[in-house]
Chains A and B, each alone.
Chain A
Amino acid sequence: MTTAEQLKDLTEQKYRYGFVTDIEADSIPKGLSEEIIRLISRKKGEPQFMLDWRLKAYRHWLTMQEPDWANVTYKRPDYQEIIYYSAPRQKKGPSSMEEVDPELKRAFSKLGIPLEEQMRLAGIAVDAVFDSVSVATTYKARLAEKGIIFCSFSEAVREHPALVEAHLGSVVPTTDNFFAALNSAVFSDGSFVYVPKGVRCPMELSTYFRINAKDTGQFERTLIVADEGAHVSYLEGCTAPMRDENQLHAAVVELVARDGAQIKYSTVQNWYPGDADGKGGIYNFVTKRGVAHRGARISWTQVETGSAVTWKYPSVILLGDDAVGEFYSVALANNRQQADTGTKMIHVGRNTRSTIVSKGISAGHGQNTYRGLVKVQKGAVGARNHSQCDSLLIGDRCGAHTFPYIEVKNPTATVEHEATTSKISEDQLFYCRQRGLSDEDAVSMIVNGFAKQVLKELPMEFAVEAQKLLGLSLEGSVG
């Protein structure tokens, strides 16, 4: 076998999370209309302000066009063919973990996410979202002792409507873009986090998203508010069954970091990527943005290995003086996957700083695009940015593309951009194999080395998951 063939074999590994859970679902009819939105809102027992907000978003969405500027090609979803709400039928609002449907628990434990608290890795609280609803949140009581709210979005709307109303849409308005508007109209659940002033969240918070039902879209919404001086680290993971049809995932994440607050948001994205010929897979069209006030820090770390098409630009608005924004990304595009991902760093305050490290890995026929905007506004005296975009090509049929946009309106700003493109060489593979490593381990190791700068930003507990996803063996305590 030639090295090219070996690489081909390696990069065509099977998706391991493609199972379907057989559970009775409460679904609404396909299609989108004001009536459907009212139905979703009613099912969730929402207050009037939420329904009004959804309808406003929907009416605006009707006037919008699906964006076509991304470096991806796909068949546009038919928005009337999607089921916008599907919930596993279980006892209304399980009050304890014992009441969660065992079938659901099994599904999550199969994914490596046991919901029983005693089985969890110590120190991680989990919110599990299955199709359109959150099915379980762990460690709520322990977090509540510190005044931290960690719950499903639906619960937040019911229990903390004032907090939700004050922040919902404050970072990503309903009119922001086509997918954000759609999400605002139909979103069904997600996670909500509030960390009070001066509190450091004692454990990692995480949400695990699972799409299960057929023909459904998942539209979740996450809102994290870190009050003055608060610290929180949050992680999301996601998987879906293997289906021949494309499924839409259009999420919105809003982060608010008040003065001196720190939010670290990590994503390990492993939606079903479609088969080797590009059939099926998730369309991952996501809007993520944070506002960093004075002296606040927002850090996005993402490991994107799944989805057929990814359209995603986690961004930071550096509003307050001395605010810091970071973006660390590993994006893998294999087989027929297409990823158009990057970030926006908007410098508004004085002496704001941002760092961008993007590592794109392309294999098979994969197309990987980095698209990033660094914008320094007039008042951002002394703003600094450093961007580094590296691409690694595996094989000779894939592509790497970089579109950096830089807009600077203040002459005191410092903006740096570095980019490299490299290939895994036959010499590297042979060297590794001569030392006893299989091709598989050799490629893993080389890719791991390439992505190291980003992987080390992940919380320790999740580095393991990322390593599995990239097919990597992560560096241990030696070396």
Chain B
Amino acid sequence: MSGAVLLEIRGLRARVGEKEILKGLDLTVREGEVHAIMGPNGSGKSTLAGVLAGRDAYEVTAGSVRYAGQDLLGLAPEARAAAGVFLGFQYPVEIPGVGNLYFLRTALNAIRKARGEEELDAMDFLAFAKEKMKLVELDPAFGSRSVNEGFSGGEKKRNEIFQMAVLEPKLAILDEIDSGLDIDALRVVAGGVNALRRSDRAIVMVTHYQRLLDHVTPDVVHVMAGGRIVKTGGRDLALELEKTGYAWAGDKAPMPLTEART
């Protein structure tokens, strides 16, 4: 059922300042697949997400990343977005005074323009966006509010999935999309992700907790530790991790794999 290789990472090394965080990472993702990358804090999960999206703070020192047949690392962040790479942020950023839908329409049209497609006018976009908002049960009022400003944690995450639904990426990297969510919000967010699974789209979910995987069933589960992928398996691997924790992967302080709930 898996399609062509979409993302191929070989021997990737990256650092922040003097500190090396990714230490020779390999990963292959095919179209239509959902991957979960799990691992203890500090194992390099979020760094991997940031490097793939082109965040300035990370310096790639070795290795290669091929995406849809091109060198991903050579592209500016906006060019990666135009090529279909989407990052769902762990901490979505607030932009005061900029309407949520206006922001998204500008982004979508920038991407469409970069691809040589026709831009959507305001009315067509509005109709399109309203459909997508339903996917994550986002109240239409969020369309005119400033981007993420005053949103609750759950609303921010839903907004990320809403943006993904509108931008229709080929590769979506969701960085801890489950963190800080109560069970109802998690169900909504996961429902949105499931609805966006497609045979020509790959989703890479970075998460600390197995609980997300109860709602979004991955095809492949990876365990990251010390800046590498140390184990790869199927859905069972996540369940196994839930019992054993990450201690075996070199984590000094094993953590429970179910998030404390308040």
A interface with B by C-beta (< 8 Å): 2-3, 425-428, 430-439, 441, 445-446, 448-453, 473, 475-479
Chain B residue nearest in CB terms to A2: B56
The answer, yes or no, to whether B97 is at the interface (CB within 8 Å) is: yes
CB distance A437 to B106 under 8 Å? yes
Distance in Å from the Cβ of A260 to the closest Cβ of chain B? 33
Chain B residue nearest in CB terms to A451: B97
Interface residues of B in 179-195 (CB under 8 A from A): none
- Mark each residue of chain B from 42 to 80: 1 if its CB lies under 8 Å from any CB of chain A, else 0: 000000000001111100000000000000000011101
The answer, yes or no, to whether B203 is at the interface (CB within 8 Å) is: no
Chain A positions within 8 Å of B255 at CB level: none
Distance in Å from the Cβ of B43 to the closest Cβ of chain A? 22
Contacts A434-B77, A434-B81 supplied; 4 other A-B pairs, CB < 8 Å = A427-B93, A436-B111, A475-B98, A476-B102
The answer, yes or no, to whether B37 is at the interface (CB within 8 Å) is: no
A37 to B110, CA, bound (A): 57
Chain A positions within 8 Å of B87 at CB level: 434
CB distance A478 to B163 under 8 Å? no
Q: Which of B81, B91, B96, B103 contacts A433 (CB 8 A)?
A: B81
CB distance B114 to A436 under 8 Å? yes
CB distance B105 to A428 under 8 Å? no
CB distance A479 to B89 under 8 Å? no
Chain B positions within 8 Å of A433 at CB level: 54, 76-78, 81
CB distance B76 to A449 under 8 Å? no
CB distance B95 to A428 under 8 Å? yes
CB pairs A–B below 8 angstroms (30 shown)? A428-B93, A428-B95, A430-B77, A431-B89, A431-B93, A432-B107, A433-B76, A433-B77, A434-B53, A434-B77, A434-B78, A434-B80, A436-B81, A436-B110, A438-B110, A441-B110, A445-B95, A445-B103, A446-B98, A453-B97, A475-B98, A475-B102, A478-B126, A479-B98, A479-B99, A479-B101, A479-B102, A479-B103, A479-B143, A479-B144
Instruction: Give 5 closest A-B pairs by Cβ, nearest first.
Output: A479-B99, A449-B97, A479-B102, A449-B98, A436-B81
CB distance A435 to B81 under 8 Å? yes
Chain B positions within 8 Å of A448 at CB level: 97-98
B interface with A by C-beta (< 8 Å): 53-57, 76-78, 80-82, 86-87, 89, 91-108, 110-111, 114, 122, 125-126, 143-144, 146, 163, 167
CB distance A438 to B56 under 8 Å? no
Chain A positions within 8 Å of B103 at CB level: 432, 435, 445, 479
CB distance A445 to B106 under 8 Å? yes
Chain B positions within 8 Å of A435 at CB level: 81, 103-104, 107, 110, 163, 167
A438 to B57, CA, bound (A): 18
Chain B positions within 8 Å of A425 at CB level: 93
Interface hub of B53, B101, B106, B143 (most chain A Cβ within 10 A): B106
Chain B positions within 8 Å of A438 at CB level: 78, 110
Chain A positions within 8 Å of B101 at CB level: 478-479
A479 to B103, CA, bound (A): 8
CB distance B126 to A430 under 8 Å? no
Chain B positions within 8 Å of A427 at CB level: 91, 93
CB distance A478 to B125 under 8 Å? yes
Chain B positions within 8 Å of A451 at CB level: 97
CB distance A430 to B55 under 8 Å? yes
A19 to B81, CA, bound (A): 39
CB distance A478 to B122 under 8 Å? yes
Chain B positions within 8 Å of A432 at CB level: 95, 103, 107
Q: Which of B81, B104, B106, B122 contacts A473 (CB 8 A)?
A: B106
Distance in Å from the Cβ of B17 to the closest Cβ of chain A? 14
Chain A positions within 8 Å of B125 at CB level: 478
Distance in Å from the Cβ of B143 to the closest Cβ of chain A? 6
A438 to B80, CA, bound (A): 11
Distance in Å from the Cβ of A85 to the closest Cβ of chain B? 44
Distance in Å from the Cβ of A395 to the closest Cβ of chain B? 15
Assuming the A-B contacts A441-B110, A476-B122, are A446 and B81 also in contact, with contact meaning beta carbons closer than 8 angstroms in the complex? no
Q: Which of B57, B97, B106 contacts A452 (CB 8 A)?
A: B97
Chain B positions within 8 Å of A449 at CB level: 95-98, 146
A449 to B114, CA, bound (A): 24
A473 to B55, CA, bound (A): 25
A338 to B220, CA, bound (A): 58
A476 to B125, CA, bound (A): 12
Assuming the A-B contacts A436-B78, A436-B114, are A426 and B106 also in contact, with contact meaning beta carbons closer than 8 angstroms in the complex? no
CB distance B122 to A477 under 8 Å? yes
Distance in Å from the Cβ of B119 to the closest Cβ of chain A? 12
A477 to B182, CA, bound (A): 35
Chain A positions within 8 Å of B94 at CB level: 428
A427 to B94, CA, bound (A): 9
CB distance B102 to A478 under 8 Å? yes
Chain B residue nearest in CB terms to A447: B97
A425 to B148, CA, bound (A): 15
Chain B positions within 8 Å of A428 at CB level: 93-95
Chain B residue nearest in CB terms to A390: B96
CB distance B78 to A431 under 8 Å? no
A438 to B76, CA, bound (A): 9
Chain A positions within 8 Å of B110 at CB level: 435-438, 441
Assuming the A-B contacts A436-B78, A476-B102, A479-B102, are A431 and B95 also in contact, with contact meaning beta carbons closer than 8 angstroms in the complex? yes
Interface hub of B93, B122, B144 (most chain A Cβ within 10 A): B93
Interface hub of A435, A436, A438, A448 (most chain B Cβ within 10 A): A436
Assuming the A-B contacts A435-B107, A449-B146, are A475 and B56 also in contact, with contact meaning beta carbons closer than 8 angstroms in the complex? no
CB distance A436 to B82 under 8 Å? yes
